[in-house]
Amino acid sequence: MTTSAPITPLKPTHQRVAQHLVDGHNAQEIATRTGLTPNTVRQYVRDIRVSVHCPPRCKPQVLAHLLLGAEQVAPPIPERPTPELKAEQLQLLRAVAEYSTPGDIALAAKIAPADLRSALDELLDEAGAADATQLVVLAHAWHLLGTRSTSTAESGAAK
């Protein structure tokens, strides 16, 4: 199923919180950095998810992908060159950006679920990323992930 619902532009305060999310910060860290209460940050994150049609249970990397793909926040300027990734690594990268559960990621990447962890660790190492969210953010900065596809929000819905 696809969705054609338009993305709601973020208010400036929501955009600042979204940028912190893309930078890999959790609600408590965002609260500390912005002076907002943790409850306010959590409400803003819920508002941000609604704005980009991201289900409540999707992983942070999926939310980052939606925010960056919808151009609600800017990707960082990459500090290192784009890595040379194999076709199967690019497929895994897209799956990590669009899906939240390991089973769905493995299925979309066309790899055995038992091989997912090692393949993801290899991809993280190749990209120089600490975690999946940073991987997705770097991939956007390197233009390896394009703009938001119409099915991306749906792909994270059940995850």
What is the per-residue pLDDT for 4?
Answer: 55
Residue 5 within a domain: no
What is the per-residue pLDDT for 131?
Answer: 95
Helices (H) and strands (E) in the chain, counts: 9, 0
How confident is the chain (159 residues) per 10-residue block, as mean pLDDT? 68 96 94 96 96 91 95 90 95 97 97 97 96 96 73 40
- CA–CA gap between residue 55 and residue 156 (Å, rounded): 6
What is the per-residue pLDDT for 1?
Answer: 34
Counting the structural domains of the chain, the total is 2
What is the per-residue pLDDT for 156?
Answer: 43
Distances in Å between the Cα of 56 and the Cα atoms of 28, 69, 86, 127 are: 18, 18, 32, 28
Instruction: Please check whether residues 112 and 127 belong to one and the same domain.
Output: yes
Instruction: Please check whether residues 89 and 149 belong to one and the same domain.
Output: yes
Instruction: Please check whether residues 46 and 67 belong to one and the same domain.
Output: no
Instruction: Please check whether residues 69 and 26 belong to one and the same domain.
Output: no
Instruction: Please check whether residues 42 and 90 belong to one and the same domain.
Output: no
Domain that holds residue 130: 57-159
Residue 141 within a domain: yes
